[in-house]
Structure 1
Amino acid sequence: MLFGGIGGFLAVLLVIIVGLFASPSNDSVDIEDRTDWEPPTEEELTPKELLALGWSSHDPIAHWPVASLMLELSDIAYLPPATAREKIRELGWESESINAGSMQGYVIDAGDDSIVTFRGTEGHEYDIVQDLRFIGVNTEQGAMHGGFAKGYDSMHDQVVELLERYQTKRVWLTGHSLGGGLAVVCAYRLLEGTTYPIAGMMTFGQPKVVRSQLVEYLGPKLIGKYVFFVNDMDPVTRVISPYEHFGHMVRWNDNDIERSQMLLMSAGADSPAAGQEAGYIEGMTQADFQELLRSVEESNTPKFDENGNQLVQGFVPNVFDHYLDAYREMLEQLRTHSNR
């Protein structure tokens, strides 16, 4: 899991500039108003019933019970294949793994729906951050991050074969961290070359994946169907420029629920911006990124005082915001939070 090992606690040092962790300005997002909202008292729903619930990323209240299911499947994707498939079977579904080098995921047969969940990168923190370098690949509709594109590319035929086998009518996509990046690439490939409609894409702690031209292509195709969750000061969601976020952002920021803004009111119907969104968390510059690489690399070299005692290296606690457990807590806040 990204920043998941013990070394991750010390990985991000104070040398990262304050701007990396700065909150967005108040006028860049909408603050969700829950003054007259009562937390729901929900009956226990089966995974199949959760998939059948109607939802839109632009619902006035960002509480979608199916998000907890997507988070659970993102968590399962980190498990060894035999264990993961057994966990999925306990949910009532069969699945097959998809693999390409170190990339892994699962295609789940959920009746008329299929769910594709991707595992985030696991390994040494420095190797993980290296995966996020500024390498691009071009598509007919625009550029995307080469690491995600190439990581997914060898899995695409496996995904399509399983969707055909399962006689899929709708597709759900999910993933945490780099798994969320793979989900975005998968969405692009499915929209570009297949007839499978996307029922929903929910990602957690996802880095930025595409350039602006590809945003103009993908954004309108995923209106209402794509939400990426940002937990407080999660630094991974700020990696990396010149790539961009798109879709609908929901961010838990202390006691506020922040949401990106639709541009339908400020753009003409024929404008490329129509139906897109604005108001995302601030990005990381290339200089910041190089500083992050350096700090992560140096954090693995022990430092000692004049008496030979190893120094405890400082860390920015925001790395905890990236953990899946932190996103699980975020979804619980979305379910129960009220301004009353």
Structure 2
Amino acid sequence: MKYDASLASLFHPATMPPLFGVVGGPAASWPEAARCAELSRLAYFDPAPAVSEACALAGLTQYTFFNDAGTGTQAFACKAADGRAYIAFRGTQPNSLYDLVADARFLSKPWRGGGKVHAGFAQCYESVASQLRDWVKQQAPDQLTLTGHSLGAALATLAASADFTEARLVTF
């Protein structure tokens, strides 16, 4: 993908098409960090055919979208044929009032995964946590990787600390 340093690209990563199947050969051969970076970017896409098609090109199936209308939290999960699964959390959308409110709720609160955390991030994660736990239980992956960018990275970190302590965590 041609690098685009514009503010539009920075604040709206879904403006560029998916890269799986287009750049760098088959996505199954991509380094794990590159695969997670693209999954984190795809989390910004609406749950449209483009995301499921991109996942299919990467050899990722069982694509499922998670959304909480009350907090605006979004994530998606997918699974590779080798038993690895991924959950990618969407980061802050600057035009989303939900995300801006979540970001502004910065006071800390006790976290069930230990310590204290940003209250807005905790609320966002908890709004989809049961759906994620159900999906992981149903899929029973051999390995789970949690990933995300910005707000999505914070949510992935909370997921790793509270519900998926054996998961790999790759954040941006």
CA gap 1:131/1:81 in 2 versus in 1, 3 angstroms:
same
Instruction: Give the letter aligned to residue 104 of structure 1.
Output: Q
Distance apart, 1:202 and its partner CA: 1.3
Aligned CA distance change for structure 1 residues 81 and 145 (closer, same or farther; 3 Å): same
**Aligned match of 1:312:** none
TM-align CA RMSD:
2.6
Contact 2:65 2:74 in 1 (8 A): yes
Alignment-derived partner of residue 55 in structure 2:
88
Corresponding position of 2:78: 108
Question: How far does residue 47 in structure 1 lie from its aligned partner after superposition?
Answer: 3.7
TM-score, normalising length from structure 2?
0.73
Question: Could you tell me how far apart the structure 1 residues matched to 2:154 and 2:56 are?
Answer: 25
The alignment-based identity, stated in percent, is 27
Distance 1:104 1:139 in 2: 21
Cα displacement (A) at 1:45: 6.6
Post-superposition shift, 1:187?
A: 0.6
**Higher relative helix content:** 2
Amino acid at match of 1:87: A
Give the 5 Å matches for 1:156-235. 156-191=129-164, 197-198=166-167, 200-204=168-172
Q: More displaced, 122-131 or 132-141?
A: 122-131
Structure 1 residue runs without a partner (length 5+): 9-43, 51-64, 205-340
> Aligned partners of 1:155 and 1:80: how far apart in 2?
17
Question: In the TM superposition, what is the alpha-carbon distance from 1:128 to its structure 2 partner?
Answer: 5.1
* CA deviation map 1:50-90 (0-9, x unaligned): 5xxxxxxxxxxxxxx22111111111111110222221122
Higher-RCO chain (CA-CA 8 Å, sequence separation at least 6): 1
1:137–1:146 CA contact under 8 A, matched in 2? yes
Q: What stretches of structure 2 of length at least 5 have no aligned partner?
A: 1-5, 12-23
Q: Secondary structure at the match of 1:97?
A: strand
Count, aligned residues: 147
What TM-score do you get using the length of structure 1 for normalisation? 0.39
Q: Is the 8 A contact 1:114 1:171 kept in 2?
A: yes
Q: Secondary structure at the match of 1:81?
A: coil
